[in-house]
Amino acid sequence: MNAPAPSDEGRLVHLGIGNFARAHTLAATAAAGGWSVVAFTGRSARMADLLNAQDGRYGLIVRGAEGDEVSLIDVIDEVHPAGDIDTLVALLADPFTAVVTLTITEKGYAAGSDPESSAPARIALGLKARREAGVEEPIALVSCDNLTGNGQVLREAVLAACDEPTRAWFDEHVDVISTMVDRITPSADDAAAEVVREQTGFVDAAPVVTEPFTEWVIEDRFRGRRPAWEKAGAQLTDDVEVHELRKLRLLNGAHSLMAYAGQVAGVERVDEAIAHREVRALVERLWDEARQTLPLPTAELDAYTAALEERFRNPRLADQLIRIAADGSAKLPVRALPVIAELGGPEQSPGETAAVAAWTSWVTQRARDGHEIADPQGEAIAAAAGREEDRERVVALLDLLGVASDDPLVDAVLAEEPRLPRG
């Protein structure tokens, strides 16, 4: 563990050092200044090796429609594999550690109580060690994942893994913070490292490509130290929920719809999907429905969807639909199903229903073509998709989303599948 520099204001520990974290959360922490960062990988330890070999530095490529802007982000002290539990526990027991941020994706919060496979369980071990060390300064746990009420989801997952003494200690010493995060971050292409080298001279094995737009809305309820994220444009507020829903249902909902309907229609990238006449019509229908559930002024929603369309149309971002399609069984229950329920069922929400039907169509075709489905329920999805009778297949697939066999959505999806645009 690195000794803190005298000028450091505190240590931030980050779990899940993927592209999004480096384009958004850690870039904002770098802009805040004065904080030491120790990061842990997700499922693969490869990023630890790449970043440690270049002293934690990496190039951030902001890819606008007209060109690239590159900056070098130098905020990470060390990166450890997720399995290095002892190091994480020691870090969380250290009073210098004041904030833990997480980008572990939706499925990471349902990983159970085994520290070997569950980030919340590893945090619970660290909090136990902090309690036993007698640390009185509050520590903040900050979720940066696309979940409504992500702070509450994180709180429940961590508390479920804590022992009884740590649960009793928790409220006096731990702040759990909800946030809304927004920055599209596709996988870096083969030319990204050369772009970094040309503009900065830095030889980078782990470049990140992102869009010019960035937004971070943070619940303002820290009792202890935190980075000055407002220097990076973050908004501190008492009400994160409405911002979460706006982003989840308009951006993420449209992303899921395009990911599946776009591939069924034969296109591969977001800019191609939004330019496809029939897919775009589905997106607009979904937006109309989702807007009915959002208590925001019409002008604000108009501006937001206009900005989304501009972001989606950026051809230089080249965001691949297959990337966005991952983990559909975890995403659709929080993106599409709540809107369908709030509007009174699938008859009142054909756009959201189309998103679900596009998923069932896409996973069916993918499974029957012998391709792997990147999803926490991938094997179950492939088995369900393999059923020959259509109703049995759709019932089995929707069951994996938590939809009952007698739900009207079953018939609606069966009716919608043949109407989807086909490539």
* Residue 236 CB-density burial (10 A; 0-12 exposed, 13-18 middle, 19+ buried): middle
Give 166-185 pLDDT, tens digit per residue: 999 999 999 999 999 999 99
- Write down the pLDDT at residue 113: 81
Model confidence band, residue 308 (pLDDT cutoffs 50, 70, 90): very high
* pLDDT score for 4: 46
Residue given tokens 């249902």 in the structure block: 249
DSSP output for 230-257: GGGT-EEES--HHHHHHIIIIIIHHHHH
Confidence of residue 6 (pLDDT cuts 50, 70, 90): very low
Summarised one tens digit per residue, pLDDT across range 119-175 is: 999 999 999 999 999 999 999 999 999 888 999 999 999 999 999 999 999 999 999
Q: Which tens digits make up the pLDDT trace of 368-402?
A: 999 999 999 999 999 999 999 999 999 999 999 99
Residues 6+ apart with CB under 8 A from 19: 185, 186, 187, 188, 208, 209, 210
pLDDT cut 70: percent of the chain above it: 98
C-beta separation of 110 from 157 below 8 A = yes
Predicted local confidence at residue 1, as pLDDT = 45
Does the pTM of the predicted model rise above 0.75? yes
pLDDT of residue 112: 79
The encoded tokens of residue 122 equal 């590893």
d(CA 177, CA 224): 12
Q: What is the pLDDT of residues 220-279, one digit of tens each?
A: 999 999 999 999 999 999 989 999 899 999 999 999 999 999 999 999 999 999 999 999
Give residue-wise pLDDT tens across range 200-234.
999 999 999 999 999 999 999 999 999 999 999 99
pLDDT one-digit tens code per residue, 55-84? 999 999 999 988 999 999 999 999 999 999
Inter-residue contact 12 to 100 (CB < 8 Å): yes
